[in-house]
Structure 1
């Protein structure tokens, strides 16, 4: 039987922040609430995160790393077409989970309106990664204008996240899948569609 390692204090703080920020919104959650949820002292909290904004940046960076790792792993294991199918399905699955509140990055951007803030910088970097990745995937699938397809896929992803929160989440995955492949098929030369 293997031993399990307890999460580090930093990870416990991030876990508490992730749960609270996502459920209640970033601005609505005080450092004291995170400290209480993580079961630590203020001194310990501030030793790991100088400010709440520093914690917000770390929270988003960790979420970005998880999303990137998941999509990169899918691409490597099943190829780009199947990765897009599974991506759509995973958005649909997430949207159906209790407590789903949409995209962490869109939510953070709504709360941090200042374009020059470190939080907005993390959001912009992650969105740029998605656009680049979608462009690479579209290119691999024979789309003639992968940048245009990438912009369209990004809008579909954003819309699916909002629809999952505001509309019937059970329909999100299949609708996103159809829309993704409508963009891909429309972007391919006529002889290679299908």
Structure 2
């Protein structure tokens, strides 16, 4: 079997996103600066992630951006609209990060897993890390029919499908079940990075992922 190096200070999924094909740039106005909509989302992202979604009022965001209520509600008629935009922007970033990793790995699925694990480890070590934004949002919105939960669920379905596509490439027997296990490992890693020592998180996540894939007969995973 092909031997793959364990996570090191190399290219990560977070690095690869900058080169991902079609990676969206922040919306800009005629002056070349971020658009007002993007400025509002950026402020909301900072406040929602640091303080919790329900704890942040529209008034807090309005004050942070330095705009009027009329301007705010012109772009986001409700706070839920803004929450959805905040999560959708994060979802786009993660999709681009995975796409960039797959491109950089040139078809080596285990290398993609290494890069993603390294990216999660790096993010969990960054100042202000508060866990997975999607898990955090789901914890605050229990109603599965709420627009916020629908965005969370759609993103998690995409993530599982993306993993499933790669597992099929390496001959895993139980694609759906193995993808579920890898998603669970990712969730645990994000929580572990918030609560514990994140220095060894990437290595542990990568080793666990390889073990799961190898158990299911994935080629190149040992």
- TM tier, smaller: over 0.9
The total of aligned residue pairs comes to: 190
SS in 1 for 2:80: helix
Of 57, 67, 72, the residue aligned with 1:40 is 67
Partners of 1:46 and 1:102 lie apart in 2 by 29
Deviations 1:92-149 (A, max 9, x none): 0000011100000000000011111000000000000011011111111221111111
Unaligned runs of 5+ in 1: none
Indicate if the aligned counterparts of 2:160 and 2:183 stay in contact, CA closer than 8 A.
Answer: yes
Indicate if the aligned counterparts of 1:109 and 1:120 stay in contact, CA closer than 8 A.
Answer: yes
Give the equivalent residue in structure 1 for 2:156: 127
Q: CA RMSD in A?
A: 1.4
1:112-151 to structure 2, matched below 5 A, reads: 112-151=141-180
Indicate if the aligned counterparts of 1:81 and 1:141 stay in contact, CA closer than 8 A.
Answer: no
Q: 1 or 2, which has the higher helix percentage?
A: 1
Partners of 2:221 and 2:116 lie apart in 1 by 21
Higher relative contact order (CA 8 A, sep 6+): 2
1:19-34 to structure 2, matched below 5 A, reads: 19-34=46-61
Partners of 2:157 and 2:53 lie apart in 1 by 22
Unaligned runs of 5+ in 2: 1-30
Matched, 1:90 2:119: yes
Give the equivalent residue in structure 1 for 2:92: 65
1:111-190 to structure 2, matched below 5 A, reads: 111-188=140-217
Deviating 4+ runs (over 3 angstroms): none
Matched, 1:15 2:42: yes
